[in-house]
Amino acid sequence: MSEEKLHEGPQETAEVAVEVGSASEAPEEASETLADIQPEEYDVEKELNDARAEVAGLRDRMLRMAADNENFKKRVERERLAGLKYAGETIFREMLPVVDNLERAIGQGVIEGADAEKNLAALLAGVQLTLKSLLTTLEKFEVKAVESVGKPFDPQQQEALTMDASDSIPANHVMLEFEKGYYYKDRLLRAAKVVVSSGPK
């Protein structure tokens, strides 16, 4: 070996020794850093009190909501019962003018100092006006009469009381009404009571 190589060997060994020494010092620094960290203080009693307060608040809100819901249900039930009890109020209010017109017609039918014919004419005119007013009121509530006379007999809308011969009304057609039939909206309210033609004698 040459002298240069002999001198180079120890120097490299010294450098490695320095590096190893620096690496061995690192854990001491890390352990000192961990030792400096202190755990945060945790107040269990405070957390428990906060949780209890939150639960109490939620319970209070729940009770209030339950009470509000119960009051709402009671109010709705009261309104429903009142609605059923006074369901016909609007219809009867509309019928009162008809009663007024009938009373006026009767009053016009008896006029002192007038002959019977004039009294009868006044009564008839008053009743006709009252009937017109009543039919208008019924139409307002979607109650309409069934037209039967001269129409083919329909057992779904009419009730035949009897049959009679007729030269002018074809067989199985309605020739006379005893009572009109009425529809309420799309439902038959009352069937018409009619006389049905059996054809010519």
The pLDDT tens digits of the residues spanning 18-74 come to 444 444 444 455 445 544 544 455 678 888 888 999 999 999 999 999 999 999 999
pTM above 0.75, yes or no: no
| Nearest-angstrom CA–CA distance, 5 and 154 | 133
Look at residue 95 in the predicted model and tell me its pLDDT.
84
Model pLDDT, residue 191:
93
Q: What is the mean pLDDT of residues 79-101?
A: 85
Count other Cβ atoms within 10 Å, centred on residue 181. Answer: 21
Among 6-20, 34-48, 156-170, 174-188, whose mean pLDDT is lowest? 6-20
Q: What is the mean pLDDT of residues 155-166?
A: 92
Question: Buried b / exposed e across 74-107, counting CB within 10 Å, b at 16+?
Answer: eeeeeeeeeeeeeeeeeeeebeeebeebbeebee
Q: Where are the alpha helices (DSSP H) in 37-181?
A: 44-85, 89-109, 116-140
Of residues 13 and 76, more confidently modeled: 76
Distance between CA atoms of 193 and 163, rounded to whole angstroms? Answer: 12
The region of weakest confidence among 99-108, 128-137, 181-190 is 99-108
Of 5 and 164, the structure prediction assigns the larger pLDDT to 164
